[in-house]
């Protein structure tokens, strides 16, 4: 393809979708407040990681914007793990806290699994607790990780029923790849999970009606790997000299795909919107209310 070939793919506007979702959540929060319930999200940041500080700040701002209570707890980089576990215990016991998020990565002296599994699974708005992972895998009511949930919403919005579609998930992380595969399977897609040891990736990709790229390698997925008309969801956020780029080579892929998420403005804004969706869901469940419509798989 030359640079002059017109783009054929429809861009998937995650920014607009997420704004719409947050507006809907704000309406539901207002209705809950009218019944005397204010959803609340506590975010815990250990250390000074600059990227994590940016994420935590924007999570707090957007939480407040939809009318929820927001608390930010900070611990120093060298805090003993026992201090973090004690804080989590307090948040677990506090009925005004409906969601708890411990920002990752944690300092190296901490055991990430032990920390995550100390969170009350009902307040685990990241969906990382082992019980929520197991519930998702077995088709039970779970808290679902935010980024894959956001990708699923975009896919359903674009394609409707995902049943029988060939879906390729590139990447097998616990945060994105694995839960994404579970969600697609739950929607009756035929799911392949590719990773760093996969030998025939371009070939697999050419068979996929849906591609979810979550490898963390800049512009890794090339346009000539894409099946014409496929829906491409790019989870990557890679900082390069040329700016922020995804895991998909957007320019070449956009000539072949039917629809594609840009970076930035695609999946990224969906992650925080789904964190708010999960906080609302957790609040509803804690108060014996039905799950809000369309925010859970």
Catalytically active residues, by annotation: 59, 103, 126
Nearer to ligand GUN, 254 or 267 (CB): 267
Site residues, ligand GUN (CB under 6 A): 101-104, 126, 146-147, 175
Nearer to ligand GUN, 55 or 225 (CB): 55
Nearer to ligand GUN, 120 or 126 (CB): 126
Q: Which two tokens stand for residue 247?
A: 């895991």
**Quick check: 233 and 212 in contact, CB under 8 A?**
yes
CB of 147 to ligand GUN, least distance (A): 6
CB of 55 to ligand GUN, least distance (A): 7
CB of 134 to ligand GUN, least distance (A): 19
Instruction: Give residue for tokens 């190296």.
Output: 108
Burial class, 152, CB count within 10 angstroms (exposed 0-12 / middle 13-18 / buried 19+): buried
Strand partners of residue 211: 168, 232
CB of 51 to ligand GUN, least distance (A): 8
Q: Cα–Cα distance between 91 and 190 in angstroms, integer?
A: 40
Q: Cα–Cα distance between 86 and 29 in angstroms, integer?
A: 29
Planar angle of CA 144, 296, 59, nearest 5 degrees: 60
Nearer to ligand GUN, 33 or 239 (CB): 239
Q: Which residues contact 215 (CB under 8 A, 6 or more apart)?
A: 170, 171, 196, 236, 247
E strands present in the chain: 10-11, 40-46, 69-75, 99-102, 166-170, 190-194, 210-213, 231-234, 238-240, 243-245, 259-260
Nearer to ligand GUN, 40 or 223 (CB): 40
Q: Cα–Cα distance between 233 and 103 in angstroms, integer?
A: 24
Instruction: Name the residue whose CB lies closest to ligand GUN.
Output: 104
CB of 109 to ligand GUN, least distance (A): 18
């Amino acid at each position: 393809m030359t640079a002059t070939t017109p783009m054929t793919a429809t861009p998937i506007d995650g920014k607009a979708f997420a704004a719409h979702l947050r507006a809907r959540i704000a309406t539901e929060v207002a209705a809950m407040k009218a019944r005397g319930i204010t959803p609340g999200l506590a975010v815990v940041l250990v250390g000074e990681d600059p990227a994590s500080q940016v994420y935590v700040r924007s999570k707090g701002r957007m939480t407040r914007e939809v009318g929820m209570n927001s608390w930010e707890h900070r611990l120093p980089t060298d805090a003993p793990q026992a201090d973090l576990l004690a804080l989590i215990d307090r948040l677990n016991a506090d009925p005004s806290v409906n969601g708890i998020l411990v920002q990752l990565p944690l300092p190296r002296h901490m055991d990430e699994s032990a920390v995550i599994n100390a969170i009350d699974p009902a307040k685990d708005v990241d969906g990382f607790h082992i019980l929520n992972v197991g519930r998702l895998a077995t088709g039970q009511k779970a808290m679902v990780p935010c980024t894959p949930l956001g990708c699923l919403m975009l896919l359903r919005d674009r394609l409707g029923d995902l049943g029988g579609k060939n879906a390729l998930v590139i990447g097998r992380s616990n945060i994105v790849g694995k839960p994404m595969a579970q969600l697609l399977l739950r929607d009756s897609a035929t799911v392949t999970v590719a990773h760093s040891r996969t030998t025939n990736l371009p070939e697999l990709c050419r068979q996929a009606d849906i591609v979810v790229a979550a490898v963390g390698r800049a512009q890794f997925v090339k346009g000539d790997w894409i099946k014409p008309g496929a829906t491409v969801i790019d989870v990557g956020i890679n900082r390069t000299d040329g700016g922020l780029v995804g895991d998909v080579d957007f320019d070449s892929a956009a000539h072949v795909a039917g629809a594609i998420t840009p970076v930035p403005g695609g999946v990224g804004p969906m992650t925080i919107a789904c964190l708010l969706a999960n906080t609302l869901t957790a609040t509803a469940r804690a108060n014996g209310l039905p799950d809000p419509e369309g925010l859970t798989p």
